[in-house]
Structure 1
C-alpha cells in the first residue's frame, strides 16, 4: 500500500532521506545540549519497537507515555505507532488517575519516578499489565521505599517491569518498518487541559493527525534552513514529522511559567533558532529576560503563541527583542481541533484590531486553509458558539459517546464540532473570541462574556492579567474581576488604571467587586489558561454577602 503524502509512515520515510541531519536537540539547563540525527532517531525507534514487541505490546494496545526526555518521548511514540499501538501522552495534572481509569490502558511507559507515582497513587490500577521503564532500570521490590511494609499494605501489587533502551544509539541500524494505517484507525488519545471542567480524552484518527500536520505546515511556514524552538514538550514529537530540526529546552512541565528564563534564552541564542513556539506564559519569560539583560533574538523570524489569546502588551514586548520584519502569530485551537485560526500581530499593533461597531472580543484571524468555522445558536448580535469542521477535527471523545454527541452538530450535511468557545464571524470572515461558554457570568439583569471585559482590563498599567468570574448561583451571580498585578505594582495605582481603561466600557458597571491575587491558578499544560473554577471559589471567600 502506498503511503498517503501526509501520513506518519510517509513523513518518517522522508525523515530517513537525510540520515545525518539533526532532527532533535534536547537541552539540559542553559548550556548543555545533545543533538540527535535522523539515523539515530530511526535506529532508536526500531530498537524500542523490538523491546516493546518482546514485552507483549501489540497493535491496538493503548499505551500511556510519560517522560520529560525529548528523545525518549519522540522515539517511544514513533515506536508505538510503528507497532500499531496507540500512544497516550499523560501530563502531570490533577485527576490523572481518573483520566487513566477512563481509558484503561494496558501499557505504561515512563521514567523510574513516574512508576513510583503510578504505584503509590494507583494510576492505571487494575488495567496496566505491561510496565516499561525509560532511563535507568527500576529498583526491585526490595529496594522500594517502604519495603518494610507487609505485602498487603503496599500501594499496588508489583508488576514485572522491563527496561526500554533509552540511550541514543549510533544510528547504524535500520529504520523501523511502519505499515500504512487505515485513515480511520485510532492514532492517539490526547486529554484536554480541563480548564473548563473535567479533562476529556479526545481520539485522533490517523486521518485527523495527518490533517493537523498539514495545517501546522501552513501555520509554521517552515523553510529549508529553519530551526524550530519548541517550548512545549509534546510538540517535540511533531517537529521531526514536519521536517524541521527541533530544539527542546528544559521547561518546568509542572509549572511552565516558573521555568528559569535562562534555560530558554540561552539555548534559543546558542542554536540560532528561527521559529519560536510557546505558550504566552513562556513567551513572557523570554521577552522579560531579553528586556532585563538588553538582549535581542537576531535569528528568530517567526514567533507562534498558543494556549491563550496573545495580548498586545506581550506582542509589543516580544517585538522589541526581534529583528525587523519578524512575525508574531497568535494561533487558536483546541485539543479536539488544532489548529483552527491564526492572526499575524504585524510586529506590535495588529492585535489591536478593533471589533465591528457595537461588538467586542479578540480577533483570532481567519480559519486556516481546509478548516471551516461557523457560529451556532447565534443571538441577535451574531454571538454564539464557534463550531469547526475539517480534517483537523477529532472523531470524538474516548468512551464518552454522550459527550461526543453533545459536541457535534449537523448543518448543511456537514458534521460540526462545537468548541465551547463563544464568538462571532465578521464580514471579512475573521473569527472573534469572547471566552468560553462555560465561563459566562450571569446576573439577574445581565450576561457577561469573559473576553469582553478582560481584553480591555488587561491593558491597564500594572496589570499582568485579569479574570472575570461569577460568584453565586447561575442567573444570580455577582461579577467579580480578579486581578493578577505586575510585580511591585501598587494596588491603588492599579485600581485607578482599571477605572481609566474601563470608564467607557458599556458593561463595566456590572462588575461588583475587584479582588487582587498574587498568582492565578492555571492549567499545567500551558500555564496560560486560567483555572476559573478555583479562582471563583477563592473569590467567593473574599466577596461580602
Structure 2
C-alpha cells in the first residue's frame, strides 16, 4: 500500500486515463418504454470532465476546504462531480436518502454544508424540509428540464460548464494521510446516523484490499449496485457498469435489467448486498439463468442467508464464490469468507455458534474484549484490566487497520464511546459481539445493544435466532427484551413464511422444544407472531428490534 504523506483518491483515475485512455470507465444503464440503452464514458474523457467540473466549481465559489452535500443519482455526472470534489479538496458529504426525512435533516444540521449539489427532486426536498438552510451558500442543480431551472432560477451543472470551461488539467489537491477528505453518514439502521470522517488514507487502504485480498485487476468490468463502491471501479482501472435501479432500495431492482447489463459488458465482478443476492438468486432459479462471465461476487452490508447464497450460486461457474465481507461505514472491509467455506459452517450456525465472517484481510487486526458500556480511552486499559477475551469467548469486536476511521464528525461523545487510542493508531469498537475461534476466524453473534441480559444468563441475538430459524415454517425471528414483574426476560418475535397456517399453541410448543436442546436458548419460552418485521430499506435484513421490543412489551403486558 502507498504510505506517502500526501495523497488523493483521484490519482488513480488520472493514472488510468494515461495508461488506458480509451478504455471504458463508466456505463450507466437507462430504461425507456421497456428498452435499455447506455451512457458511456472512457477514462480519458472522465478525467477531463472531472477536471472541467473542478474548475467550474471553483469559479462558482465552491473551493478547497468547503463541504458539499452530493445528492445525485448514479450517472456520468455523479462520477465526474465526485472526482471533481476530491480533486479540488472540497469535502463531499454522502448521505443515504433511505434514512428518512428526520434523519436527513439532522445530518445537514450536524455537517453544516457550504454547498448543496443535487438533482431537482433533492432540491425540492431541500426547500420543503429546510435542509441546510442555515449553512448552504451555494446551490447547484444536476439534470432537470428547462422549466424547473427557469422556475427556480438555480444554476445547473450544464450551464456552469458552459460559462467556465478551462481546457487544461486540474492540479489535484493532495491531502495529508489523516486530513478529512469526505463525510459518509451511516444508514441509521442501528441507531441515529453518524457522520464518519474519511481520509484519503482510508480510501487508499480500501483500494489496496480490493487489489490484494479480492484480486481485482485493471481492465475488469464491475456491475456496481452501490454508488460508493462504484467509485472504486475507475480508481482500480475497472469499468463501473451501473444498472437502472434505486440504489437506496435494492429490493425493488429489476433482475432482468441487471442480468442484461452483466451480459452486455461481460462483467467479471458483481457487488450486491444480501437483499439483492436473494432477489437475483430467485429470479435466476425461475429463469434457469446463468452468469458465466462473473469470476467474483462480493456481498456486504449484512449477513446473507446461507439459503440465498446457495440459490444464487447456481448461476455461477463452479469455481466462482460469493465473497462475504464484514465491516461497517466506519471500517470496511475487515474480514472476508468465500461461500464454499461459509456453507460448510451451516451446522455450527444452526446450532447457535454465530455466523462465520472469515479471517481478517491484510493489515487488519481483530480483537475481542469483555462486554462493557464504559468508554475505554487507551488500549493499555484493556491490557491492564484483563479485558481481552480468549478464543471461543463472546465479547465486543474491536478492529485496527488503515481503513479504520479516526472519528465521527462533530460527535465527540460518539467518538469517545467507539474509539480506543493505541499509540499512533486508533482502534474501533464495532458495537458487534462475536468471538475468534482457534483458527483465527471471526464469528458474529449480533449487536451489543441487542443482547438480552437476565439474572440467569445473557442471550445473544444471532445464536438464538438462528437456532429457531431452523423451524420449517419460520421465515425469521428477532430476540427482544421485555420487562415482566420487574425483571427482564427474553422474548422471541416470529415472522412466518407466506401462507403458513398453524395454531400458536402448536408452533410455540414446537419452538420451546427446539430451544430446550441448546444452552443458548434454554431460557426462552415466550413467543409472539409478528405479521412483517420492520427492516431497513437498503439491506432488508437489519431488523429494527427496538420497534419490535416496544410492540412486544405492549402485546405481552397490555396494561403497561
Relative to the length of structure 2, the TM-score reads: 0.86
CA apart distance, 1:409: 2.0
Structural mapping, 1:202-281, within 5 Å: 202-281=196-275
CA 499–227 in structure 1, closer or farther in 2 if over 3 Å, else same: farther
CA apart distance, 1:101: 0.3
8 Å contact 1:109–1:133 — kept in the other structure? yes
1:333 aligned to 2:327? yes
Structure having the higher helix fraction is 2
- Bigger drift between 131-140 and 430-439 goes to 131-140
CA apart distance, 1:390: 1.3
C-alpha RMSD of matched pairs (Å): 3.2
Find the aligned partners of 1:352 and 1:455 in 2 and give their Cα distance. Answer: 10
Find the aligned partners of 2:110 and 2:133 in 1 and give their Cα distance. Answer: 11
CA 274–460 in structure 1, closer or farther in 2 if over 3 Å, else same: farther
Consecutive unaligned residues of structure 1, counting only runs of 5 or more, are 145-159
SS of the residue corresponding to residue 348 of structure 2 reads coil
Residue 50 (structure 2) aligns with: 45
Q: CA-to-partner distance for each residue in 1:275-332, whole Å, 9 max, x for gaps?
A: 1111100111100100111212121222111111122111211122211111111100
Of 124, 129, 136, which aligns to 1:128? Answer: 136
1:83 aligned to 2:88? yes
- Bigger drift between 412-421 and 308-317 goes to 412-421
Residue 482 (structure 2) aligns with: 471
8 Å contact 1:201–1:398 — kept in the other structure? yes
CA apart distance, 1:47: 2.3
Residue 11 (structure 1) aligns with: 12
Find the aligned partners of 2:341 and 2:439 in 1 and give their Cα distance. Answer: 22
Residue 114 (structure 2) aligns with: 106
8 Å contact 1:72–1:134 — kept in the other structure? yes
Find the aligned partners of 1:175 and 1:494 in 2 and give their Cα distance. Answer: 68
CA apart distance, 1:531: 2.1
CA apart distance, 1:66: 0.6
Structural mapping, 1:372-387, within 5 Å: 372-377=365-370, 382-387=393-398
1:119 aligned to 2:112? no
1:404 aligned to 2:406? no
1:529 aligned to 2:542? yes
8 Å contact 2:6–2:175 — kept in the other structure? no
CA apart distance, 1:142: 8.2
Residue 373 (structure 2) aligns with: none
CA 367–26 in structure 1, closer or farther in 2 if over 3 Å, else same: same
SS of the residue corresponding to residue 510 of structure 1 reads coil
Residue 299 (structure 2) aligns with: 305
CA 212–135 in structure 1, closer or farther in 2 if over 3 Å, else same: same
8 Å contact 1:467–1:483 — kept in the other structure? yes
1:429 aligned to 2:437? no
CA 294–398 in structure 1, closer or farther in 2 if over 3 Å, else same: same
Residue 156 (structure 2) aligns with: 163
Residue 381 (structure 2) aligns with: none
Relative to the length of structure 1, the TM-score reads: 0.88
Find the aligned partners of 2:482 and 2:255 in 1 and give their Cα distance. Answer: 36
Find the aligned partners of 1:474 and 1:285 in 2 and give their Cα distance. Answer: 44
CA 248–540 in structure 1, closer or farther in 2 if over 3 Å, else same: farther
Find the aligned partners of 2:421 and 2:151 in 1 and give their Cα distance. Answer: 57
Find the aligned partners of 2:466 and 2:159 in 1 and give their Cα distance. Answer: 46
Residue 152 (structure 1) aligns with: none
Residue 376 (structure 2) aligns with: none
CA apart distance, 1:347: 7.5
Residue 480 (structure 1) aligns with: 491
Find the aligned partners of 1:319 and 1:474 in 2 and give their Cα distance. Answer: 49
Residue 352 (structure 1) aligns with: 346
CA 375–61 in structure 1, closer or farther in 2 if over 3 Å, else same: same
Find the aligned partners of 1:140 and 1:168 in 2 and give their Cα distance. Answer: 18
